[in-house]
Amino acid sequence: MDIKQYLNRPVILGAIGFAGGLIIVTLIIIGFTSPRLSPDVGFAPADLTMIPAPTHTPNATLPPAIDPSLITPTLAPNTIGIGAYVQISGTEGEGLRIRSLPGLTGETVFFGGESEVFIVRGEGSQVADGYTWWYLVAPYDETRAGWAAADFLAVVPAP
């Protein structure tokens, strides 16, 4: 068999033209089916939490008779109690496990960061596993709530 009869100019040009046509068709198909890339913005989008500003409430007038159940006791300075503002401290920057139940066996709900501020709520303190536990709620997010050991809390002034 003589291969030279198949390697003439029209056969070679035809093969090159056919290959070029296949490349063009392939590029067109890739161009129509590939996702469009958006240009780089140069920064990452940030999550933004909007905290509404307090609204103005008109002053209410109290009746002349004082109901003793309406009086809230004031706490001594640096005393943790219901309604007090506390911040996490003494964790050496590692944060504090906020638990679903008082005690070391309670499931960790989330980690509170060093210096994060909470409000003490609930029925009062509970003693478990050698610690006094308080129920805390974040003032900016009611879903960040749980029990924390008093050894890692410091009273801070109310805003």
pLDDT for residue 157:
87
Mean pLDDT throughout 100-127? 90
Q: Is the pLDDT of residue 111 over 60?
A: yes
Q: Is the pLDDT of residue 71 over 80?
A: no
Angstrom distances, CA of residue 69 to CA of 49, 66, 72, 73, 124: 37, 9, 8, 10, 17
- Say how far apart CA 9 and CA 54 lie, in whole Å: 86
Sign of the Cα pseudo-torsion (56, 117, 138, 48, in order): positive
pLDDT for residue 5:
74
| Whole-prediction pTM | 0.53
- Say how far apart CA 3 and CA 126 lie, in whole Å: 96
pLDDT for residue 98:
93
Residue 4: phi and psi, rounded to 5, are: -65, -25
Alpha helices of the chain — where are they, by DSSP H?
9-33
Mean pLDDT throughout 37-61? 67
pLDDT for residue 102:
92
pLDDT for residue 58:
64
Which CATH number does the domain 80-156 belong to among 2.30.30.40, 2.60.120.10, 2.40.37.10, 2.40.50.100?
Answer: 2.30.30.40
Mean pLDDT throughout 125-152? 91
pLDDT above 70 coverage of the chain, percent: 77
CB 126 within 8 Å of CB 95:
no
Q: How far apart are the first and last CA of the chain?
A: 98
pLDDT above 90 coverage of the chain, percent: 41
At residue 75, the 3 state secondary structure works out as: coil
pLDDT for residue 60:
59
